[in-house]
Chains A and B, each alone.
Chain A
Amino acid sequence: MWLKFEPRAEPSRLMTYLSPLLAVGLMFLSGLLLFYVLGKDPIEGFRVFFLYPMKDAYSIAELFLKATPLMLCAVGLSVGFKANVWNIGAEGQLLIGALAGGWVALRFEHSTSPFLLPAMILAGAVGGMLWAAIPAFLRTRFNANEILTSLMLVYVAELVVSWLVHGPWKDPDGFNFPQTKVFSAAATLPLMLAGTRVNIALLFALGALVAGWLFMNRSFLGYQMKVAGQAENAGRYAGFSARRSVWFGMLAGGAMAGIAGISEVAGPVGQITEKISPGYGFAAMIVAFVGRLSPIGILFSSLLMAILYVGGEQAQQYLSLPSSISKVFQGMLLFFLLGSDVFINFRPRFVRRRK
């Protein structure tokens, strides 16, 4: 006997939605196994990693805080991914967005204008878009692979941040720490719930989900991009511009990542440092895939991803495991999802092995 995959006549709608759940289930199981292998009590490990992040109202608020940048980046990326535009440099776009918005905050540090925050957020979006425009331009003008160029720009962006916080932008009264001045109150996003760290960036993220849904399902350009992604030739015959798909896909990702970046520095971080993002831009790709590139899916998967982030911190605190265990779970989740997706287009069947 052996397992064979038979093509289905039509992709299974049911499996499209079940496969992320299957992937999460497999991740839970391997989590138990992983804790066992590490010599921890699997049940206890599971509790600390997956349940502690939801133990009280404050913890749940923290989840929403962490889910915010993930949601923003993921919804932006999903627009491109639908059209097979592989922007994998959201992390860099997030950083440049943080720098652009942060520049406004530092330049007008004494301003108390109510327009300061909107200006910062606009600058953040523009910064992210500019950084994403580079791979878009290189792809449409020179045919350079956007996967590699957008990723290379992540490293460049990290080095730009490092240069600024060690050099020109370093807080002169900061005891030589590589960080800028702390943003003024007028340049900090207002909190949504007193006693938590959740700020109004969550509203931007939810707004972005709605906008993303409208764009993908109710606009002609969104439709064109979907067609281009699913059937490139059909899109070309219909006269849909591939160039426009690339530009729009990249810029949407860049703008959202930029807003995520400025929301982090004008929110929980409060200043520009070298540690603005614990890899949100990369995790957002997983969020987008697990959320089936749909805004509603992304809402849930970003919260799940937030659990993985907070769970890592909990594991460090209570199980004395490195917090990078989060990334192990993130990678596993994506692998399991890709694997489970086989059931969408294929039917498993046990057949007798041919001699």
Chain B
Amino acid sequence: MGLDFLSSILFATVVAGTPLIIVAVGELVTEKAGVLNLGAEGIMSVGAVAAFAVAHHTHNPLLGILAGMAAGMAMSLLFGISALTLMANQVASGLALSIFGVGFSAFVGKPYESVALASVPLVPIPLLHKIPVLGPALFHQQGLVYFSWALLGAVAWFLYRSKAGLILRAVGESPVSAHSIGYGVVRIRYQAVLFGGAMAGIGGAFMSVFYTPMWVEGMVAGRGWIALSLVVFATWRPLRVMIGAYLFGGCMIMQMFVQGSGARVTIPAQFLSALPYVATILVLVLISRNRGTIRLNSPASLGQTFLPDA
């Protein structure tokens, strides 16, 4: 195995992990506020198709990202109305969003299925991209890869070093207490949900405009759900999301790895494609095995409806 090959494997792993980081970090913030939004898959799908359509018509990938983000926020607003304002069950509302989003994206995306998009040039970081092996893999990347790193840092800082983050976590741990000392629980939860939606929309945009770049029905292929699992895997800690995301990214490009390694064994392509899903299950089992870990780290009010009193 040559160094170039190693570098390209690393490159592909990072690319495959990036949407997972972005979506999982958004969901993490949502969950830290005590809201379980299972709609990531649907939001990503709609974000992906919106971004693709705008990038296609304007020839501007940046506008595509913005469109994906806006679409993601609109979708998560639907979730917010259902789960926060109308106080519906969060699990059911999230499922509704996923079903709706996957269907809606297939519907509006139909005309774009045969359209190709120019691939977006990579952004080299001066000097760093010249490091052997790591340079081409990490520092001559899609712009959104750097964004995902900045996002991780910003969210980690926000949650654990800022007052607003402290309030957000308080809302997630004990909405009643937060409410009683005057914080608008529903308002803060809305903000968290919208942030999660925006990130899931960007994650979808990354898939359709930067990663593939094309739109096909069902192209999100469970990445939204994997991102949700990642939050559990990371035990609600931002930096651990990154480790998990690259782990899954590695699973997703296993096909390329097997082909490149020149191994003689023939493994059906479907087995390799199933790997990320099986890995998700294994990882969930490993983390959840210890009930204490989950109970200690998950926001105490996660998934529970908050009823603002009269």
Contacts and interface: CB of A to CB of B under 8 A. Distances in A.
A and B bind: yes
Interface of A: 4-7, 86, 88, 134, 138, 142-145, 147-149, 151-153, 155-156, 159-160, 162-163, 166-167, 282, 285-286, 289, 321-322, 324-328, 330-332, 334-335, 338-339, 341-342, 345-346
Contacts of B225: 148, 151-152
Contacts of B78: 335
Contacts of A334: 92, 95-96, 99-100
B281 interface: yes
Interface in B254-277: 268, 270-271, 273-274, 277
Contacts of A338: 82, 86, 88-89, 92-93, 96
Contacts, number: 141
A328 B284 contact: no
Interface string B49-82: 0000000000000000000000000000010011
B291 interface: yes
Contacts of B280: 148, 152
Contact of A342 (B88, B107, B288): B88
B164 interface: no
B113 to A, nearest CB: 10
Nearest to A322: B110
Contact of B232 (A145, A163, A326): A145
Contacts of B38: 147
A156 B95 contact: no
Interface in B267-310: 268, 270-271, 273-274, 277-278, 280-281, 284-285, 288-289, 291, 294, 307, 310
B106 interface: yes
A224 B134 CA distance: 58
Nearest to A148: B229
18 contacts: A86-B91, A88-B95, A143-B289, A152-B225, A155-B222, A156-B277, A156-B278, A166-B268, A322-B110, A324-B106, A324-B110, A327-B107, A330-B100, A331-B100, A335-B82, A338-B86, A338-B89, A341-B88
B110 A339 contact: no
B87 A144 contact: no
A29 to B, nearest CB: 16
Nearest to A88: B95
